[in-house]
Structure 1
Amino acid sequence: MIPSQSSTPIYINVQVNNKCQHAIIDTGSAVTIINQQLLKKIYHKKFIYKQKLHKSANCTSINIIGEIELEIKIQGHKTLILADVATNLITDLLIGNDWISNSNVIIDSPQRPIFLIDRYHRIVATAPFITPPDFQSPVLLVNEITLPPYSEKCIDVKIPSSMNNIAEALFEPTPNFHSKQMLLTNALLKVVNNKSRLTIINANDRQRTLSKNTKLGYVSHQPPVNKHLTLPVLSTKGVYGQTHPKPFIHKRNDRIAGRSCALPTRNTRKVQFMDSTCRTEHYDEQHQCYVCQEQFLTRNDLQQHLRHECYPQNIRDQIEQLTSHIKDLNHKQQLQQILWKHGKLFDLHQPSIIKATAQNAIETGNHPPIYTPPYRVSYKDEQIQRDEINKLLKQGIIEESTSPWSSPIVLVRKKDGTVRFCVDFRKLNNVTTKDAFPIPRIDDIFDHLSQAEYYTTIDFKSGYFQVGLDLKDRPKTAFSTRDQHYQFTVLPQGVTNGPPAFQRIVSQILGPTRWQHLLAYLDDVIIYSPTFDQHLIHLDDILNRLNDANFRLNVNKCHIAKTSIDYLGHRIEHGNIRPNAENIRALLETVQPITAKEIFRFVKAAEYYRKFIPRFSIIAQSLHKYAPTTKEQRSQKSQSTPITLSDEELNAFNELKRILTNDLVLRIPDENLPFKIQTDASKIGIGAVLMQIHPNGDLPIA
């Protein structure tokens, strides 16, 4: 308890940890308390997390998050005190009776200064009383909120007890909100029982989460009277707490980051951001270690703690592995600093669900539920099913179900002998309304890499399983074993709208960085930059967005800050593009096909690199007849029937393999340079090559 007295608080000037600061001497307070915001601005020793609650005599709660040793200096005389750190203290520094007693302080009267005496009762320092500064009370958020991109919301706020007798107060937002493109306006608030309402706007292209007790700004006790000033009076009545993610244009005259702010329209119909998925990840006032739950005052303190104490050894090894190719020591340290900052992305010790959920991913209209009984399996496969289901249950990927829908389980054997657990959703897919959200063209992606010299590729760990599935869609994903019924809680593999739903969410999270220094093809993300310094900035930005969304990455498939990289089956280096060597090797090792299925598989694989193969359509023409176009041809029996290749077909097969043995390389198109078409003709045909005019000579593009 912190008792209070009727006496007026005494204000003096002190130095706290060598920073000049006014303080309140409160003889009615048992302890000394420092505001967390002030502590962030001064040099201090390690923060000791110790959560507790103080209550004043009028039952107002003071939220204490820890303790800190402070040096309070008056006229050069040093004193030490263990102070509590509060998140909602209405002043910066409150000095209580603990400091008064320990420092031998004499308070004579309000007209005279306070005296500090030594053990011989000699005065060693004095501090005159000062006029209290213009008093303001902080405005704090009542509940944690999450705002979708380009949305506004009316929120509950609270004001400390010093506003008890105030019916109206002038609100001014803190400047750091505008720097984060979170918009609050000056307003004249109606205060009822220390509470009021505010409207907040998220002008970002990604969701923002504000924690409980976030300081939004200040209110003054007496709003200034100014005939030229007009402020909106925000009532405490009406419908509040609604988020409005509809497309809108919001214009204002305020200058934000040196320019006028106009919010663009954005359709967020398909993506809904959840309100309280992971409270500790978006603290503006407090930073909490997700491993040990210890609180820290600054993000930098938290990063240092994670790096030296709580990051497991495997993350340390992974960061070292990801940067092992960097020879420049300075570059390596800069890169590792960014990876340490976002090390949580590589922490796979527990499953992670991102702060976005797929909406309308399985839209079936009024179609009745489809039930397919489970396939009969061997005892061995039954054991595999049980093990996989137990693992998925433990990870929260599936849950028990009472759904009338059901699709059968299928175990797919992989080349390495392991088994992939799948569900056959073909009947469900037949009645699902197809999502038209576009998947980027691979050629368009490569065309944006012509000026890049540094590349980073990122791969999500079980990407679909990190995306929550809307509650109304979960029953449609149900499947059965011989004695149990389950459904997915996340986006399952095999549903027809899985790719567009996942692409939409990734595009929403990555925002305007796409097509500027980042490209995303489903779960394959590439960051590209012309210089190393720019690449550090771009990498930090993207990892920050993914960290905010709570994604986890597959470190074994991530490659950081490389000058040549494999992406989507191609090797990219210094503006040149060629087929991936492993893929070409697999094609060259293909034995002579003996079924239509094998021929078709080879032709489709070679066709992926057709832009590197002159006259591909002519060479492969004789093999295209094996492409399954009719229902009968698509049947497994037809595709597996043994065949014998004719001489023409065998020559085509061998010619494609021969061309693939060459070093096939093309220049990525540069939109800043002119193009030309180089043609050739004979009596039997015309050929052409698309070239680009480079300073060092013409280079083939296609």
Structure 2
Amino acid sequence: MILGKKPVKQSPRRFAPEVIEKIKEEIERLLKAKFIRTSRYAEWISNVVPVIKKNGKLRVCIDFRDLNTATPKDEYPMPIAETMIDVVAGNEIMSLLDGYSGYNQIYITANDVSKIAFRCRGALSVYEWVMMPFGLKNAGATYQREMNLIFHNLIGKFVQVYIDDIIVGSKQKEDHLCHLKLAFERMRKHGLKMNPLKCAFGVTAGEFLGFVIHQKGIEVDKNKTKAIMETNPPSNKKELQSLLGKVNFLRRFISNLSGKTKVFSPLLRLKREQEFQWNEEHQKAFEEIKEYLAHPPVLAPLSKGKRLKLYISASDSTIAGMLA
């Protein structure tokens, strides 16, 4: 905890009776799984934030904003997603694994359990997390550290791990069962569980970190391009920032993206009292980006020992480069 920060006990929120019933069901599931337990002397208390999933079931999220504000940041370095994707692409065969129940496989330190308590108005008690929940400031860094410790000498050879997403990839098909065996032996040793419903074994292509990877290279996930294609022209600065965030995620596939989006810069610099005006020039630039994404290129994986050429392009306002 950051020195000087006093514990906060959030006032309970109100929910509709039908929501309370779903919260009760989810809490009973968490109790049965021993992810949480009843709390008697909670130091910090946060509120439940119920989120209804697509299948109609409820996910119990917690409003940890007060606790996160008082928590120092864990500076553990996270993997660079683009580098991992480059490494994974080019495998002849792969298996994509997903950790069971997300972060709930890591125990909370005994001294910190009373800080991670939550409550809900009604007949429900105050509970505290025994296993690490989603939403804590340093949950991602903590999980990544544990995964790196578990797979330390396999990562970079035939295993790649990004938090709870694991890929076992093999350049030669005949090596894959051996690689899977080594990975599962390591998981069994450390009690790490996977979700079989979200795993894919022995595939030649799969989705990883928002991209489609296979032996020939890296492709854009069609759902990502669809989200851009179906976006209406932005009517305010916030909507423009959201749109450019989606576009920037696919920046590797769009030639001279900085040049194509330069026209939006004045809109991004608008102050709150200034009027947002989307004109024909902005729409033309947006249509150009959509046209480019209608047939995006396939990025080929690097081949060890192959000579690369550096291509550079520059104008009065932008500069770009590419290794190929």
TM norm structure 1: 0.43
**Matches of 1:525 and 1:423 in 2, distance apart?**
26
Conservation of the 8 A alpha-carbon contact between 2:47 and 2:119: yes
User: In the alignment, which residue of structure 2 is the partner of 1:390?
Assistant: 28
| Residue 80 of structure 2 corresponds to residue 435 of structure 1 | no
Deviation, structure 1 residue 415: 5.5
Conservation of the 8 A alpha-carbon contact between 2:254 and 2:296: no
User: In the alignment, which residue of structure 2 is the partner of 1:444?
Assistant: 83
User: In the alignment, which residue of structure 2 is the partner of 1:668?
Assistant: 301
- Written as runs of structure 1 = structure 2, the 5 A alignment for 1:523-562 is 523-562=164-203
Structure 1 residues 380, 481: closer, same or farther in 2, change over 3 A? Answer: same
Conservation of the 8 A alpha-carbon contact between 1:679 and 1:686: no
Aligned length: 321
**Identity, % of aligned pairs?**
28
Deviation, structure 1 residue 549: 2.0
| Residue 17 of structure 2 corresponds to residue 376 of structure 1 | no
CA deviation profile, 1:9-55 (whole Å, cap 9, x unmatched): xxxxxxxxxxxxxxxxxxxxxxxxxxxxxxxxxxxxxxxxxxxxxxx
| Residue 142 of structure 2 corresponds to residue 501 of structure 1 | yes
**Matches of 2:267 and 2:46 in 1, distance apart?**
32
Conservation of the 8 A alpha-carbon contact between 1:600 and 1:624: no
**Matches of 1:669 and 1:558 in 2, distance apart?**
26
* CA root-mean-square deviation: 2.7
Deviation, structure 1 residue 430: 0.7
User: In the alignment, which residue of structure 1 is the partner of 2:207?
Assistant: 566
- Describe the SS at the equivalent of 1:384: helix
| Residue 279 of structure 2 corresponds to residue 602 of structure 1 | no
- Describe the SS at the equivalent of 1:435: coil
- Written as runs of structure 1 = structure 2, the 5 A alignment for 1:270-669 is 363-364=1-2, 367-401=5-39, 402-414=41-53, 418-449=57-88, 451-482=90-121, 484-623=125-264, 645-669=278-302
**Matches of 1:576 and 1:451 in 2, distance apart?**
6
- Describe the SS at the equivalent of 1:572: strand
Structure 1 residues 534, 652: closer, same or farther in 2, change over 3 A? Answer: same
Amino acid at match of 1:385: I
Conservation of the 8 A alpha-carbon contact between 1:458 and 1:525: yes
Conservation of the 8 A alpha-carbon contact between 1:371 and 1:407: yes
Conservation of the 8 A alpha-carbon contact between 1:675 and 1:690: no
Structure ranking higher on relative contact order (CA contacts 8 Å, 6+ apart): 2
Larger fraction in helix: 2
Structure 1 residues 607, 681: closer, same or farther in 2, change over 3 A? Answer: closer
TM norm structure 2: 0.89
**Matches of 1:510 and 1:471 in 2, distance apart?**
26
- Describe the SS at the equivalent of 1:408: strand
Extract unaligned runs of 5+ from structure 2: none
Deviation, structure 1 residue 539: 0.9
Structure 1 residues 375, 450: closer, same or farther in 2, change over 3 A? Answer: closer
Structure 1 residues 686, 510: closer, same or farther in 2, change over 3 A? Answer: closer
Deviation, structure 1 residue 601: 1.9
User: In the alignment, which residue of structure 2 is the partner of 1:22?
Assistant: none
Extract unaligned runs of 5+ from structure 1: 1-362, 693-702
Conservation of the 8 A alpha-carbon contact between 2:99 and 2:193: yes
Conservation of the 8 A alpha-carbon contact between 2:36 and 2:127: yes
- Written as runs of structure 1 = structure 2, the 5 A alignment for 1:62-77 is none
Conservation of the 8 A alpha-carbon contact between 2:95 and 2:203: yes
Deviation, structure 1 residue 512: 0.6
Conservation of the 8 A alpha-carbon contact between 2:77 and 2:141: yes
Structure 1 residues 468, 679: closer, same or farther in 2, change over 3 A? Answer: closer
Deviation, structure 1 residue 665: 1.3
Deviation, structure 1 residue 375: 1.6
Structure 1 residues 663, 612: closer, same or farther in 2, change over 3 A? Answer: closer
**Matches of 1:408 and 1:681 in 2, distance apart?**
52
User: In the alignment, which residue of structure 2 is the partner of 1:258?
Assistant: none
Structure 1 residues 488, 442: closer, same or farther in 2, change over 3 A? Answer: same
**Matches of 1:674 and 1:467 in 2, distance apart?**
44
Deviation, structure 1 residue 590: 2.3
Deviation, structure 1 residue 526: 0.9
**Matches of 1:680 and 1:590 in 2, distance apart?**
30
Conservation of the 8 A alpha-carbon contact between 1:577 and 1:665: yes
Structure 1 residues 470, 651: closer, same or farther in 2, change over 3 A? Answer: same
CA deviation profile, 1:553-597 (whole Å, cap 9, x unmatched): 222321212222221111122241111122222322223333443
Structure 1 residues 611, 650: closer, same or farther in 2, change over 3 A? Answer: same
